[in-house]
């Protein structure tokens, strides 16, 4: 009984005194030292337990990027759980919106599809009582262990059930983070288009009905609850956003992490782009969103909007703030002659405009002594690495080159980050 063939027993063994001391012993073992550590520890401990401890240590190391070193060292994970969980920065931001009396102001949330508890933990830390539901027994055991390890067991009740069977009527709000099948859940926005969206990264068609549970079920659950939030892939097509919902795209450190559909916020249905870690948030009611900006000649500055702004279709709002227009009607680069500090876009001063021509670029960079070349692109199939190899940058200077289109014409714009 027990051991590798019974994941629940194997996990329970990790939480015994012997399991804990093994976890401490393997905490900082590097991958290259694993074999030696395993051989040594197996002299005094069961082989299955040693393997489980080493696997858990590896998962904890992977989890540091999402949960930070302090929490990751105390928490437990499954491979899927660490992959699918919400990072602390995003979960904390959302939990504050749930808790804030000026926003949703809720005291209790049914977290439907809780996984190993990434969101449940953040909600509890915001002072919210959480019912955390998952149908996978091991995932529930891990979520329970995490609530205990972080001192949140009084606020988090973990229940093993299918979310479609759970009565949530006693809760102020529901939160649903469905499992997304088939590949990596929606990654960073890489779309070149000013109306980026509709396809997840890697060309996968966004299919919310392939979610478990399907998005249509989650929307119905949200509509029945007083307040709700649904976490979805950032590639959700805008026509799949229910008309009463606020759709929020969240980036962290410039990478788009997720979209959230909020229900019951008491505000007009809006689009919102939120940029973590600073928390700047740009919101526009759907009824009064600006039309696409006009296309203009290349000006002194190029503004590269954050991916969350692009996904939220708020490029026009940012263009208005910087008194800018578009370089091309299909590309989310904003051009302007005005320097305006904005958190929603990175500003570059453009010094040169060339038709797409690698030789001319190479000559220009030689003349300027550019050895450090940053290549950015939207609307170009050229691979940045390939371009860098061809132009062989040399010298003490640095520059940024944008490979893009200007009114449809393949163009290279050379510049540097605006001071």
Ligand X SMILES: C[S@@+](CC[C@H](N)C(=O)[O-])C[C@H]1O[C@@H](n2cnc3c(N)ncnc32)[C@H](O)[C@@H]1O
The residues binding ligand X (CB under 6 A) are: 84-86, 113-119, 133-136, 139, 162-164, 177, 179, 212-213
Of 146, 122, 12, the C-alpha closest to 73 is 146
Closest residue by beta carbon to ligand X: 118
Q: Kindly tell me which of 48 and 148 has the beta carbon lying closer to ligand X.
A: 148
Least gap, CB of 236 to ligand X (angstroms):
15
CA 14 and chain centroid, separation: 30
Least gap, CB of 114 to ligand X (angstroms):
6
Least gap, CB of 7 to ligand X (angstroms):
13
Least gap, CB of 83 to ligand X (angstroms):
9
Sign of CA dihedral 127, 129, 135, 140: positive
Phi, psi (rounded to 5 degrees) for 52: -65, -40
Residue 6: DSSP 8-state:
-
Q: Are 193 and 330 in contact (CB under 8 A)?
A: yes
Residue 164: DSSP 8-state:
G
Least gap, CB of 306 to ligand X (angstroms):
23
Least gap, CB of 369 to ligand X (angstroms):
48
Q: Kindly tell me which of 229 and 332 has the beta carbon lying closer to ligand X.
A: 229
Q: Kindly tell me which of 257 and 271 has the beta carbon lying closer to ligand X.
A: 257
Q: Kindly tell me which of 62 and 388 has the beta carbon lying closer to ligand X.
A: 62
Least gap, CB of 163 to ligand X (angstroms):
4
Rounded alpha-carbon distances, angstroms, from residue 144 to 23, 82, 160: 18, 15, 10
In the block, residue with structure tokens 């959480």: 130
Q: Kindly tell me which of 115 and 208 has the beta carbon lying closer to ligand X.
A: 115
Q: Kindly tell me which of 112 and 347 has the beta carbon lying closer to ligand X.
A: 112
N residues, the chain = 419
Of 353, 348, 418, 356, the C-alpha closest to 391 is 356
Cα–Cα distance measured from residue 296 to residue 127, given in angstroms and rounded to the nearest whole number: 50
Cα–Cα distance measured from residue 98 to residue 105, given in angstroms and rounded to the nearest whole number: 6
């Amino acid at each position: 009984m027990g051991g590798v063939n019974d994941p629940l027993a194997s996990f329970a063994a990790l939480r015994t005194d012997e399991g804990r001391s093994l976890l401490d012993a393997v905490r900082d073992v590097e991958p290259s030292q694993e074999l030696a550590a395993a051989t040594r520890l197996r002299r005094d401990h069961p082989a299955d337990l040693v393997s489980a401890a080493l696997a858990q240590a590896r998962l904890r190391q992977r989890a540091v990027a999402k949960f930070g070193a302090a929490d990751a060292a105390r928490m437990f994970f499954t491979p899927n759980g660490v992959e699918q969980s919400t990072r602390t920065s995003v979960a904390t931001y959302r939990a504050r919106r749930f808790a804030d009396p000026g926003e949703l102001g809720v005291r209790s949330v049914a977290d439907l599809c809780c996984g190993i508890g990434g969101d449940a933990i953040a909600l509890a830390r915001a002072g919210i009582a959480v019912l955390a539901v998952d149908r996978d027994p091991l995932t529930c055991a891990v979520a329970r262990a995490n609530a205990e390890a972080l001192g949140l067991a009084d606020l988090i009740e973990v229940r093993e059930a299918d979310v479609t069977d759970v009565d949530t009527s006693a809760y102020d709000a529901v939160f649903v983070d469905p499992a997304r099948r088939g590949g990596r859940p929606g990654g960073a926005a890489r779309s070149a288009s000013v109306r980026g969206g509709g396809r997840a990264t890697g060309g996968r068609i966004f299919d919310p009905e392939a979610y478990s549970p399907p998005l249509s079920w989650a929307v119905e659950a949200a509509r029945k609850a007083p307040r709700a939030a649904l976490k979805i892939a950032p590639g959700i097509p805008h026509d799949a956003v229910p008309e009463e919902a606020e759709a929020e795209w969240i980036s962290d450190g410039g990478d788009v992490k997720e979209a959230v559909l909020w229900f019951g916020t008491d505000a007009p249905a809006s689009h919102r782009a939120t940029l973590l870690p600073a928390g700047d948030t740009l919101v526009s009611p759907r009824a009064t969103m600006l039309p696409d900006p006009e296309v203009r000649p290349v000006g002194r500055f190029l503004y590269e909007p954050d991916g969350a702004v692009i996904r939220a279709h708020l490029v026009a709002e940012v263009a208005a703030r910087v008194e800018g227009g578009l370089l091309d009607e299909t590309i989310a680069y904003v051009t302007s002659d005005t320097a305006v500090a904005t958190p929603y876009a990175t500003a570059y001063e453009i010094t040169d405009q060339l038709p797409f021509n690698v030789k001319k670029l190479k000559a220009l960079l030689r003349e300027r002594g550019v050895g450090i070349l940053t290549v950015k692109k939207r609307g170009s199939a050229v691979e940045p690495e390939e371009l860098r190899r061809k132009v062989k940058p040399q010298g003490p200077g640095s520059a940024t080159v944008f490979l893009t289109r200007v009114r449809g014409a393949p163009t290279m714009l050379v510049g540097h980050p605006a001071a």
